[in-house]
Structure 1
């Protein structure tokens, strides 16, 4: 499980850096084409929106795997004793996994299925919107894996 975690983290880091780099290039091109050339590119706004969606959802999954880096309010958790804290952290990880399963995997999967079956495409890039939204169920699966990993890593099971 540790090897899968390490490989998955490396792949997500690479994807996040690549998406962010493409987003920066896209926005710079939009500014240059609008103010220097005098004519906006038609695809840059849509590409920036889609890459920001992927960056945000993939970043949320990545941060879930980096348990220390996740933004949380742990004032009450830090007041608990060792065993109570472990149980509470286990409950938190289980709740995150259930949320990811119900909302992201099942709900996101339905969204992807619906948009692909209706044939919805983006206006400028002509990309099927189901491909854009596919990051949601994928990241839901990643969050579930990271939650299970965090539980096993803390010897909660």
Structure 2
């Protein structure tokens, strides 16, 4: 399981770097085409929006896998004794997994299904919006895996 965790982290890291690089290139191209060429590209704003969506949701899944990396209010948690702290951390991880299941996997899956079924496409890139939104249920599954892995790590300590 640790190998899968490490592989998944490396894949997500690479995707985040690629998406961020494409976002920077896209925004630079938008500025250059607007101010140097005098005519802005029609697709750059939409591409930036979609890549920012993917960057944010993938980043949230990645940070969930990095125990100490995400923003949290842990003042009260750190005041607890070690045994109670571990049990509270398990409860937090389980709550995050349930949230990811209900909101991201089920809700996001319904969003993807609905937009694909209705045939909604983006205006400039003409991409089916279901493909853009597919990152939500995918990252929900990743968050669930990371939460399960984190609970297993807490049990082994």
Query: What's the TM-score once normalised by structure 1's chain length?
Result: 0.99
Aligned to 1:110: 110
Taking the TM superposition and a 5 Å limit, the aligned residue runs for 1:1-157 are: 1-155=1-155
Q: Write the distance in 1 (CA, Å) between the matches of 2:69 and 2:108.
A: 25
Q: In 2, Cα distance between the equivalents of 1:79 and 1:14?
A: 37
- Cα distance between partner residues in 1 of 2:33 and 2:68: 41
Alpha-carbon separation, structure 1, partners of 2:90 and 2:63: 17
Q: Which consecutive residues of structure 1, in runs of 5 or more, have no partner in the other structure? A: none
SS of alignment partner, residue 146 of structure 1: helix
Q: Take 2:81 and 2:119, find their aligned partners in 1: how far apart are those partners?
A: 54
Say which SS state the counterpart of residue 30 (structure 1) adopts. Answer: helix
Offset of residue 156 of structure 1:
6.6
RMSD of aligned alpha carbons? 1.0
Q: Offset at 1:43? A: 0.1
Q: Give the direction of change, closer, same or farther, for the CA distance of 1:156–1:91 in structure 2 (3 Å limit).
A: farther
How far off is 1:50 after superposition? 0.1
Contact 1:122/1:128, CA 8 A, preserved across alignment: yes
Contact 1:87 1:156 in 2 (8 A): no
The 3 A distance-change label for structure 1 pair 92 and 156 is farther
Aligned 8 A contact 1:20 1:55 in 2: yes
TM-score (ref. length: structure 2): 0.99
Structure 2: tracts of 5 or more residues without a match: none
Deviation at 1:98? 0.2
